[in-house]
């Protein structure tokens, strides 16, 4: 099958959407499918306000439509709700081409945090954007329930995976971990306001706090919390070592729909402390972590969990299974339709 994926999130961005799409593309190509990614780096773009490293593609529907048509896909997937996918959506609707979408992030809550405007306003856009899709692929049951409660009924399962060859309990930890007071409490991800990092950094549990990642809030948080250790971004086996060397993984976000970093941490044998919200409630079990409205309580309880139980649970998540779910959710069509539409 020839699969066209349009996304506003792509390299060099470092986030869960990009990592998911990269991993899914690799799995699909291993299965023998041909995948084309249509991303902002292929078009003229502008920096996103407050996120200059994120580029917003400015392209007419006819331009992205011509590129999609030239690829002659058997199925079309729009991965995000940004301007590039918006242009592709307009072209697909204009030409009668079916498509699927995905809901990766609690977009209304995310934008509300950054603008101060009511999240309900942005749910109107989410309903409008996803309404014409043949299916909306979502990562967890709680996200399915939330979308249905907002009038989006055509939801389908699309779980996430872990590179189980890379993320293992025996990954060697960073050398500087040896000098840190225990327990080492780790966060991995974007260093940005929507990740609610201050809630973690303000906790009072003894030990060391390590923040792995980059983002626009890093400089201010480093000044405000000089006792925390900010490493910048880490990848591959180095990142696996940070997970495996930590005593606990703290996930303070309230706006993620899944949280790839949590299952990577689990695969490395590290228990999770988080809020009881979408994402953690679908991943963390009583054996592998703790959820509480007070992060200090969650941290204290999670530190008592079995690392072996965490590693076993983490190995249940594979990118192969995720790719098969993705394929099952697509809506194939005659590829000649796309070429003629362009």
Whether 175-317 and 2-161+320-341 are alike in CATH topology: the answer is yes
In this predicted model, what pLDDT tens digit does every residue of 193-239 receive, in sequence order? 889 999 999 999 999 999 999 999 999 999 999 999 999 999 999 99
Q: Out of 3.40.50.2000, 3.90.1530.10, 3.40.50.300, 3.40.50.1980, select the CATH number for domain 175-317.
A: 3.40.50.2000
In this predicted model, what pLDDT tens digit does every residue of 26-57 receive, in sequence order? 999 999 999 999 999 898 877 776 666 677 78
Please report, rounded to a whole number, the percentage of residues in the chain having pLDDT higher than 90: 78
In this predicted model, what pLDDT tens digit does every residue of 50-84 receive, in sequence order? 666 677 788 999 999 999 999 999 999 999 999 99
**Can you give the residue ranges of every domain in the chain?**
2-161+320-341, 175-317
Q: What is the mean pLDDT of residues 156-166?
A: 95
Q: Report H helices in the chain.
A: 16-30, 61-71, 83-95, 107-115, 119-130, 141-149, 197-201, 218-224, 236-245, 260-267, 280-283, 295-302, 307-314, 319-329, 335-341
pTM of the predicted model, to two decimals? Answer: 0.86
Please give the class, per CATH, of domain 2-161+320-341.
Answer: alpha beta
Among 4-13, 199-208, 241-250, the range scoring the smallest mean pLDDT is: 4-13
Three state DSSP letters for 140-163: CHHHHHHHHHCCCCCEEECCCCEC
End-to-end CA distance of the chain: 19
């Amino acid at each position: 099958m020839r699969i066209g994926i349009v996304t506003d999130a792509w390299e060099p961005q470092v986030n869960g959407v990009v990592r998911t799409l990269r991993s899914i593309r690799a799995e699909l190509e291993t299965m023998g499918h041909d995948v084309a990614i249509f991303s902002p780096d292929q078009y003229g773009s502008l920096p996103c306000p407050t996120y200059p490293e994120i580029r917003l593609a400015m392209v007419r529907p006819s331009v992205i439509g011509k590129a999609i048509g030239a690829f002659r896909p058997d199925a079309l997937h729009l991965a995000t709700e940004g301007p590039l996918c918006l242009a592709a959506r307009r072209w697909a609707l204009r030409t009668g081409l079916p498509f699927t979408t995905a809901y990766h992030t609690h977009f209304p809550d995310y934008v509300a945090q950054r603008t101060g405007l009511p999240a309900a306003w942005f749910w109107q856009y989410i309903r409008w954007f996803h309404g014409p899709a043949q299916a909306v692929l979502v990562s967890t049951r709680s996200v399915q329930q939330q979308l249905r409660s907002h009038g989006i009924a055509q939801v389908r399962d699309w779980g996430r995976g872990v590179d189980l060859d890379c993320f293992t309990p025996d990954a060697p930890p960073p050398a500087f971990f040896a000098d840190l007071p225990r327990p080492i409490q780790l966060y991995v991800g974007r260093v940005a306001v929507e990740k609610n990092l201050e809630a973690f950094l303000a906790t009072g549990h003894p030990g060391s706090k390590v923040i792995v990642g980059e983002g626009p809030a890093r400089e201010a948080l480093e000044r405000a919390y000089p006792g925390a250790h900010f490493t910048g971004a880490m990848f591959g086996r180095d990142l696996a070592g940070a997970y495996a060397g930590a005593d606990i993984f703290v996930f303070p976000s309230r706006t993620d729909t899944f949280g790839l970093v949590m299952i990577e941490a689990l695969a490395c044998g590290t228990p999770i402390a988080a809020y009881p919200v979408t994402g953690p409630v679908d991943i963390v079990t009583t054996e592998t972590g703790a959820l509480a409205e007070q992060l200090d309580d969650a941290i204290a309880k999670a530190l008592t969990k079995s690392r072996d139980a965490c590693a076993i649970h983490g190995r249940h998540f594979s990118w192969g299974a995720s790719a098969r779910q993705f394929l099952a959710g697509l809506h194939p069509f005659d590829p000649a339709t796309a070429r003629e539409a362009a």
